Chains A and B, each alone.
Chain A
């Protein structure tokens, strides 16, 4: 977030009225930056809510993105109704995560957001039945190679991604929120048990506000790829602002991060949101989390994320961002699995890549 263009995007997202100062080529840069950060829909919503005058050339992009976001929200809801039908007979709770949870619960964070995959969380012991039911409903495994299948099934926190044969929609079926091989081992049962039901979707659940926040943070910090880093950070900001409308939200966040064994990542994630976006987090919460995590946030790590989190169009041209992203990628893998597994995994990946002669960035989510 060190470039002027990125700072401007962030500050206009926070205070949209500042956009009245922009000339046409600055609008052009703003929309391009927002698009490549996957934040253009949010920008469109915030600009529209602020009611400021926007040049027609920019309006056309912004309005089209708002329309696309509404359309995607509608599609996600429709898919979730399909999941309800496919899975209801199992009598298990199907917890929506991330985008799908925001879309279906009409969460403010979903407004203007563009959606990728649909993520669900189900009890681990029901995983086999869930996969079978989904296959009957037209979802098939997207990863064909035996290595990928084993990678997901033995080491990861989710099944290999499933693709709907008719619509091409991608579904990630999680049984916990971090890889099984990870340093932290959160018990997803607590998230599933606390999740709330929806009136017209009896099998479907929405996580508690503190769990939505914690999952979003853990996802950003363990994913290792920051293509949507800035968007994820704005998700986190929106989740904690909305969550804080419940009086006991912050104590619940602190408690839940202990119960889920993710104190360190949550402490760092909150520090990052406060540091980069000035998210309104009570100082005593930051202090409590810092103490629970055993000390202040690493300055090196803060610096790496500050450098790495920026729109894609800039990251590609900045050697510093590329380097920081590589460091974060390596660290995320380090957290994901113990060294001997990591070595095996990376060796396998590079051999496959050499054989196919493919670039390393191919196939990202």
Chain B
């Protein structure tokens, strides 16, 4: 049984789980967080438990259940997916518990304080490109899934957690310099998935916020010619808003925050058929 308190910018999370795989996952991907003193007086933002399924399921078809406080927001998964369940569940917590942030489905990387936001529908190649920018071009990882915008200061909050890789992208990313992957989980509802550890420099800079300078909508299309097109902020607004988890709940505050973010950014559509092309396009766009 593990019972630990992790400080993951921008939240503090208590995790309780009887699964060895969850302990191993935390030790691999959150080493600093695990070393922090545990039982100090801290404010817990999310009280998370991963529990075993109850009743006959405990023996015949072992399950892992995710609980936030005493709420079970989704259906249990097979017990061997307890670690990915923690990651998915934590994303859900960040996206749904009101903390005053506008939370969008996007990968975010940065150089110094300048952030590149890549919103993306599943399958657009967002995570692979995010990993390539992080491991090959040396961008700092803020998040591969969640753009967390603080309306008061207009900055993006890093939450450097493992990059979640699916199917073909696992092989590709495992060849990137400095990429360390965790176990592979087969037969999840997203296919085979694996996690890549964020570089330690990204973790060390978890308290350094960044300002959005570029928004890039990536799209992977096999055997297509590379293409980069600047788009208007209104169009970018509509498309990012669609990818936002809590835009409706954030009301006017969220609307204004997103407008402000885009006022200071240039927005692009890019189409690519390989990691190298995608990196070249991003270098052009950002001048980096």
Residues of chain A at the chain B interface (Cβ within 8 Å): 23-25, 27-28, 31-32, 35-36, 55, 57-58, 60-61, 63-65, 67-68, 70-71, 74, 312-313, 316
- Asked if residues A74 and B251 are in contact (CB atoms below 8 Å), the reply is yes
A59's nearest neighbour on chain B, judged by CB, is: B100
Q: For A26, give the chain B residue with the smallest CB separation.
A: B41
* A11 CB to nearest B CB, Å: 21
Complex Cα distance, B250 from A71, in Å, reads 7
* B98 touches which of A23, A55, A64 (Cβ 8 Å): A64
A61 CA to B98 CA in the complex, in Å? 7
Q: B250 and A28: CB pair below 8 A?
A: no
- Compute how far the CA of A355 lies from the CA of B91 in the bound complex, rounded to whole angstroms: 33
Question: B249 — which chain A residues lie within 8 A by C-beta?
Answer: 68, 71
User: Are A32 and B251 in contact, with the CB atoms below 8 A?
Assistant: no
Is there contact, CB below 8 Å, between A55 and B253?
A: no
- The distance in angstroms between the C-alpha atoms of A309 and B45, with both chains bound, is 24
Pair A64/B43 contact, Cβ less than 8 Å = no
Query: Which of A23, A36, A64, A68 makes the CB contact (< 8 A) with B70?
Result: A36
Q: Could you tell me the distance in whole angstroms from the C-beta of B56 to the nearest C-beta in chain A?
A: 10
Chain B 39-56 interface 0/1 with A at a Cβ cutoff of 8 Å (1 = within): 001111101000000000
Would you call A67 and B250 a contact (CB within 8 A)? yes
Question: Are A312 and B70 within 8 A (Cβ)?
Answer: yes
Residues of A within 8 Å of B41, CB to CB, are 23-25
Contacts of B71 in A (CB 8 A): 36, 312
By a CB distance below 8 angstroms, the chain B residues around A74 are 251
Q: Is the CB of A24 within 8 A of B70?
A: no
> Are A55 and B43 closer than 8 Å at their CB atoms?
yes
Which B residues lie within 8 Å of A67 (CB)? 98, 100, 250-251, 253
In the complex, residue of chain B having the shortest beta-carbon distance to the beta carbon of A69: B98
Q: Say whether B259 faces chain A, with CB atoms less than 8 Å apart.
A: no
Cα–Cα, bound, A295→B44 (Å): 47
Query: Can you list the 8 inter-chain pairs with the closest CB atoms, starting with the nearest?
Result: A57-B43, A64-B98, A71-B251, A64-B100, A25-B41, A28-B43, A316-B70, A28-B44
Find out whether the CB atom of A25 lies under 8 angstroms from the CB atom of B69.
no
B67 to chain A: closest residue by CB = A316
Query: Would you call A28 and B42 a contact (CB within 8 A)?
Result: yes
The CA-CA distance from A31 to B12 in the complex, in Å, is 14
* B residues whose Cβ falls under 8 Å from a Cβ of A: 12, 41-45, 47, 69-71, 98-100, 249-251, 253
25 A–B contact pairs at CB < 8 A?
A24-B41, A25-B41, A25-B42, A28-B44, A31-B43, A32-B44, A32-B47, A35-B69, A36-B69, A55-B43, A57-B12, A57-B45, A58-B43, A61-B99, A64-B98, A64-B99, A67-B253, A68-B98, A70-B251, A71-B249, A71-B250, A71-B251, A74-B251, A312-B70, A313-B70
Q: Which residues of B contact A35 (CB under 8 A)?
A: 69
Q: Which residue of B lies closest to A23 (CB)?
A: B41
Residue of A nearest to B98 (CB): A64
Specify the main secondary structure of chain A where it touches its partner.
helix
Tell me the complex Cα distance, A313–B14, Å: 15
Contact of B43 among A27, A36, A316 (CB under 8 A): A27
CA distance A25 to B12 in the complex (A): 12
Q: Report the bound CA distance from A68 to B98 in whole Å.
A: 8
- A63 proximity list for chain B (CB < 8 A): 100
Given known contacts A25-B41, A312-B69, what 18 new A-B pairs fall within 8 Å (CB)?
A24-B41, A25-B42, A25-B44, A28-B42, A28-B43, A31-B43, A32-B44, A32-B69, A35-B69, A36-B69, A36-B70, A61-B45, A61-B98, A64-B98, A71-B250, A312-B71, A313-B69, A313-B70
Q: Which residue of B lies closest to A63 (CB)?
A: B100
Residue of B nearest to A40 (CB): B98
Distance in Å: Cβ of A46 to nearest Cβ of chain B:
18
CB-CB nearest in chain A for B43: A57
Chain A residues positioned under 8 Å from B70 (CB to CB): 36, 312-313, 316
Which residue among B42, B43, B47, B249 has the maximum number of chain A CB atoms within 10 Å of its CB? B43
Chain B residue contacts of A58, Cβ below 8 A? 43
* Closest Cβ neighbor of A57 among chain B residues: B43
Do the beta carbons of B98 and A24 come within 8 Å of each other? no
Please give me the residue from chain A that is nearest to B151 by CB atom.
A67
| Shortest CB distance B206–A (Å) | 16
Name the residue on A nearest B101 (C-beta): A64
Residues of A within 8 A of B250 (CB): 67, 71
Give A36's nearest chain B residue, CB to CB.
Answer: B69
Q: Which residue of B lies closest to A65 (CB)?
A: B98
Kindly report which residue of chain B lies nearest to residue A67, judged by CB atoms.
B253
**Chain A residues near B251 (CB, 8 Å)?**
67, 70-71, 74
The answer for the CA separation of A36 and B70 in the assembled complex, in Å, is 8
Of A24, A27, A64, chain B has the most CB atoms within 10 Å of the CB of: A64
A68 → chain B closest CB, angstroms: 5
- For A24, list chain B residues within 8 Å (CB): 41-43
Chain A residues closer than 8 Å to B100, beta-carbon distance: 60, 63-64, 67
Q: How close is B35's CB to chain A, nearest CB, in angstroms? A: 20
**Bound CA span A313–B49, Å:** 13
Q: Say whether A25 contacts B98, CB under 8 Å.
A: no
| Cα–Cα, bound, A57→B71 (Å) | 22
Q: Distance in Å from the Cβ of B49 to the closest Cβ of chain A? A: 11
Q: From residue A143, how far is it (CB to closest CB) to chain B in Å?
A: 21
| Closest Cβ–Cβ distance, residue A188 to chain B (whole Å) | 33
Q: Give every chain B residue within 8 A of A68 (Cβ-Cβ).
A: 98, 249
Closest B residue to A61 using CB positions: B99
CA distance A68 to B253 in the complex (A): 10
Q: State the CA gap A345–B25 with chains docked (Å).
A: 47
> How far apart are B174's CB and chain A's nearest CB, in angstroms?
38
Cα A60 to Cα B91 in complex, Å, equals 18
Complex: how many Å from CA A32 to CA B44? Answer: 9
For A316, the chain B residues whose CB sits under 8 A away are: 70
